[in-house]
Amino acid sequence: MQLIDIGVNLTHPSFAEQREALLARAYAAGVTQMLVTGTSLAESQQALELCLQLDSEGQQLFSTAGVHPHDASSWNHDSHSQLKALLSEPRVRAVGECGLDFNRDFSPRPQQEHALEQQLALAAELRMPVFLHERDADERLLAILRDYRDHLPAAVVHCFTGEKRSLFNYLDLDLHIGITGWICDERRGSHLHALVREIPVGRLMLESDSPFLLPRSLRPKPKSGRNEPALLLEVLREVALHRGESEAELAAHTSACARAFFDLPLLTPPKVLA
């Protein structure tokens, strides 16, 4: 069984001393390809460098490049050209993480919207898929996306945590959906149990969002309290349970979906070591 993790925050400082060991555990668990998330221009550059450093063959690690809504206030007149240069790199497979976050509002909302529109325009120009973030902002995100959707090859709402209305609106706009360990959280994620059944095959992908969102259903829990890609198997288990699919079936179609979305190479036979 091969599994693709579409969201790994490998640039996070908590991973700094153990990235090789973390990847070895992931590969051994069957998580054979990963997308390293870029959340700012600096971290997008670092994500790319980690892919080149830790996967010299260019088969298992790929990245995204973009500016997260939390960092939208950093967008300036040089950001467009810097991001466009990053997106020209072969290992960079999507624009993002970009979007809107009206939950924390770390950047003013007008700046979030401006940075998002600039990145959507770049994605449309370069014909690249988009890796989207949304919290408490689905209606505004949908309104902005509608102006660009016909010019984008694909877009995924990563770490979907919303309600039925927002899910169906995203699906109606032909968006993909990323599911994380949020579905394993009995305090706030149980509403996703019914909703994951509504996501069509070919539009669903899985992600750890590590080191965040350690699955609360995991037993035993790691002493570090930190999530990592190898633990994506717990998300796989939970999603398969609520979709009424076997874990092998779910792994096959979500990975096929991710491979097509990000244009990833097919690994044959599966690699265990980088």
Please state the rounded mean pLDDT for residues 244-256.
98
Q: What is the pLDDT of residues 208-229, one digit of tens each?
A: 999 999 999 998 888 888 999 9
Question: Which H or E element spans position 166?
Answer: helix 164-172
Place of tokens 């050209």: 81
CA 76 to CA 156: how far, in whole Å? 25
The reply to whether 193 falls in a domain is yes
Q: For strand 155-157 and strand 130-135, is the pairing parallel, antiparallel, or unpaired?
A: parallel
The domain that holds 200 is classified in CATH as 3.20.20.140
Whether residue 274 has pLDDT greater than 50: no
Q: Is 177 helix (H, G, I), strand (E, B) or coil?
A: strand
pTM of the model: 0.96
Q: For strand 3-8 and strand 31-36, is the pairing parallel, antiparallel, or unpaired?
A: parallel
The reply to whether 267 falls in a domain is no
The reply to whether 273 falls in a domain is no
What angle separates helix 138-146 from helix 109-126, to the nearest 10 degrees?
40
Place of tokens 């971290």: 43
Q: Is 258 helix (H, G, I), strand (E, B) or coil?
A: helix
Q: Cα 274 from chain centroid?
A: 21
CA 233 to CA 37: how far, in whole Å? 19
The reply to whether 271 falls in a domain is no
CA 203 to CA 189: how far, in whole Å? 20
Q: What are phi and psi of 132, to 5 degrees?
A: -105, 145
Q: For strand 176-179 and strand 3-8, is the pairing parallel, antiparallel, or unpaired?
A: unpaired
For 254, residues 6+ apart whose C-beta sits below 8 A from its C-beta are 3, 4, 204, 205, 206
Q: What is the DSSP letter of 55?
A: -
The reply to whether 272 falls in a domain is no
Q: What are phi and psi of 44, to 5 degrees?
A: -65, -40
Q: Which residues of 92-122 are buried (b: 16+ CB within 10 A; e: fewer)?
A: bbbbbbbbbbbeeeebeeeebbebbebbbeb
Whether residue 17 has pLDDT greater than 90: no
- With a pLDDT cut of 90, the percent of the chain lying above it is 93
Beta bridge partners of 31: 3
The reply to whether 150 falls in a domain is yes
Instruction: Provide the pLDDT for residue 223.
Output: 83
Query: Which regions of 26-118 does DSSP assign to beta strands (E)?
Result: 31-36, 61-65, 92-101
CA 132 to CA 118: how far, in whole Å? 13
Instruction: Count structural domains, the chain.
Output: 1
The reply to whether 274 falls in a domain is no
Q: What is the pLDDT of residues 132-173, one digit of tens each?
A: 999 999 999 999 999 999 999 999 999 999 999 999 999 999
By residue range, what is the domain housing residue 120? 3-262
Instruction: Provide the pLDDT for residue 108.
Output: 97
The reply to whether 225 falls in a domain is yes
- With a pLDDT cut of 70, the percent of the chain lying above it is 98
Mean pLDDT score of the chain, rounded to an integer? 96
